Amino acid sequence: MEIFDAERVHRILDYPAAVDVLDAGHREGVDALDRSLLAQPAEDGGTDHLLVSPAWQRGRGLGVKVVTSFPANPAAHGLPTVHAQYLLFDGVSGAPRALIDGIALTLRKTAADSALGARYLARADVATLLMVGAGAQAPHQVMAHVAVRPGIRRVLLWNRTRERAARLAARLSLPGIGVEVVDSLAEAVPRADVICCATGATTPLIRGEWLRPGVHLDLVGGFTPEMREADDEAVRRSRVYVDTRRFTVHDCGDIAGALAGGVLAEEDIVADLFELARGERPGRETAEQITLFKNAGGGHLDLMIARFLADRALE
């Protein structure tokens, strides 16, 4: 059984390859997937979580990602809040093939998921990317978007804490691309051709009134019904797409909240990545359209990437 630590995952899994893997995987399809979230009260009054995400492509591979989230870890134990591992099995025999660092896998597949959405939905001539949020996911989102839209020549960074955005700007290595830390979203949003949000916001950060025609909005951070990164007006003005209806419609506040408020109907969601990859539904059709893509993730994405890693190890 192959072992992939974080360094090996990041070294092998470049973004052009990762996006192509997900594109092909969505054309292949997934036979079964699920998600189970368990919670227990923590001693400090918070909540600890166990997330299990299995997926199966019959005859090709099956696997499961197991994630723990213990918010007290940094202060109480000097450990990260989140730990994760991915176990991949052979699709024919069921024998274990690989054990993969789940954090590195998640960072890469999440960014590739957004970039695949942008491949179908962002204009070909985009030049300015606005990254909202400066956490661990942010640099991967930037690198993945640049991989699919190499015409990007400026990256704007905004974070609630400016110092964190400045630290991200200092460590980003983007030859030929200017990086600028911005203080006002109201001023930065109209400057951007692509806006990527990877935050834990529960109050919308992006207002629809700020969006200019032709912009592509990529929402990554919200994974519960209470979380919102964009307001109802942003949804109302956009053609709405999702990576998979399974994990967005009822689980993610940017979609679920808009549905509950009557701003969006399920039939208004133009397509998911399966439909886009197979050419069953249209992506961007005009330069003036505003497109919104909700990235919710899912075990099927982990499986597609895990199979690629295991296959690459045999070369």
What whole-number distance in Å separates Cα of residue 112 and Cα of residue 125?
Answer: 20
Q: What's at 212, amino acid-wise?
A: R
DSSP state of 24: H
The C-alpha atoms of residue 114 and residue 112 are separated, in whole angstroms, by: 5
Q: Where are the alpha helices (H) located in 149-252, listed in sequence order? A: 162-171, 185-188, 232-237, 245-248
Domains in the chain, CATH or no CATH each:
2-105+300-313 (3.30.1780.10), 110-298 (3.40.50.720)
Amino acid symbol at 173: S
Whether 315 shows a pLDDT value over 80: the answer reads no
Whether the pLDDT of residue 118 is over 80: the answer is yes
Spell 163-201 as b/e; 16+ CB within 10 A means b. ebbeebbeebebeebebebbeebeebbebbbbbbbbbeb
291 vs 118: CA distance, rounded Å: 9
pLDDT band, residue 81 (cuts 50/70/90): confident
Digit-coded pLDDT (tens) for 203-262: 999 999 999 999 999 999 988 888 899 999 999 999 999 999 988 998 899 999 999 999
Share of the chain above pLDDT 90, in %: 89
pTM: 0.94
* Separation CA 193–CA 292 (nearest Å): 12
What Rg value do the Cα atoms of the chain yield, rounded? 19
154-158 and 128-132 beta bridge pairing? parallel
Q: Is 144 helix (H, G, I), strand (E, B) or coil?
A: helix
E strands present in 190-305: 194-197, 216-219, 239-242, 269-272, 291-294
| Continuous H helices in the chain | 6-12, 15-28, 73-77, 102-121, 138-148, 162-171, 185-188, 232-237, 245-248, 253-260, 273-277, 299-313
Return the percentage of the chain with pLDDT > 70, whole number: 100
| Straight-line distance from the first to the last Cα atom of the chain, in angstroms, rounded to the nearest whole number | 15
